[in-house]
Amino acid sequence: MQAKEQQYFRYIEAVLFWQGEIQTGTFQDKFKLSRPSARRYLTDFITRYHIDAHYNESEKAYVLATPFTPNYISQDFTEYANLIGEQYVHNLSTSTIATLPLPHRKLNPTILRPILNACRRQSVLDIRYQSIKDGGETERVIRPHTLVNSGLRYHLRAYCEKAKGFRDFSLSRILSACPEFKCKAQKYKQDDEAWQQEVTLSIMPDPRLSDYAQQVIAHDFDMSGNRKQLKTNVALLNYLISILRLDVQHPSPEAQQIVMDPECFRELRINKLLWNS
């Protein structure tokens, strides 16, 4: 199967699985296909995977009659939202799903390529970096191992020869990256203790909420016994806390919604794993 056909089938499957129907015109417009081609791909998918769906003339759509097990997608709604969603929130007139226009971090592909290669090979880079802490540009010799999407930005997890430890480098602040062959320290991913150490973050509904509201929040976050356990590692823990807004308390419990389990907070604080403690 060609990659293009696989892309089409993944989209068709996602729409049918989550929406229960797919319009020929919507699929056609999404991939800039002719109507005969769009119809052919749709009927081919339905026939090949024995999907119980029929064409509704009045709706101009293939309508699912019975559920099916997907082949191309997971059953995670986030994947569907990423496939279907539009880029900006003001596109509500053309899409039923929208994403927030988050700040764009400009990434230079010529800088990114050697970084990705170094991550794959765990080789060494000589980088020029804009450091807020140092108040200017600095030269660093690093050995990166992982590129991390921390919600609002990408950062590079790497051993830094200058700091003599593993650090996070914001990808958009790396001004240049060149292969380096003089790194003295032989430090690799398996040597990154914070990366290798697993930790569990326990969240719960804000106790300031009413019992009913707490039940609603628990359902939203798929909690069991009003608790949800999120497994991560020490290196990523505080990024997760920040994304979930657990590092601050909003005056309104309705806005806060979730908080860290007090017992979990005490344990993380005792072990000095929190940035703000």
Distance from C-alpha of 148 to C-alpha of 176, rounded to nearest angstrom: 19
0.95 exceeded by pTM:
no
3-state secondary structure of 163: coil
Distance from C-alpha of 115 to C-alpha of 147, rounded to nearest angstrom: 9
pLDDT in tens, 23-70: 999 899 999 999 999 999 999 999 999 999 999 998 788 999 999 999
Which pLDDT band, with edges at 50, 70 and 90, does 120 fall under?
confident
The whole-chain average pLDDT of the chain stands at 89
**Does the structure show a pLDDT above 50 at 89?**
no
CB 260 within 8 A of CB 246: yes
Mean pLDDT over 4-25 rounds to 91
Does residue 101 or residue 175 have the better pLDDT?
A: 175
Instruction: Determine whether 187 is exposed, middle or buried from the number of CB atoms within 10 Å of its CB (0-12, 13-18, 19+).
Output: buried
Distance from C-alpha of 93 to C-alpha of 83, rounded to nearest angstrom: 17
pLDDT at 90: 36
- The number of angstroms, rounded, from the C-alpha of 166 to the middle of its chain's C-alpha atoms is 23
pLDDT in tens, 215-246: 999 999 999 999 999 999 999 999 999 999 99
CB atoms within 10 A of CB 73: 17
Could you tell me which residues come within 8 angstroms of residue 242 by beta carbon, excluding any fewer than 6 positions away? Answer: 150, 151
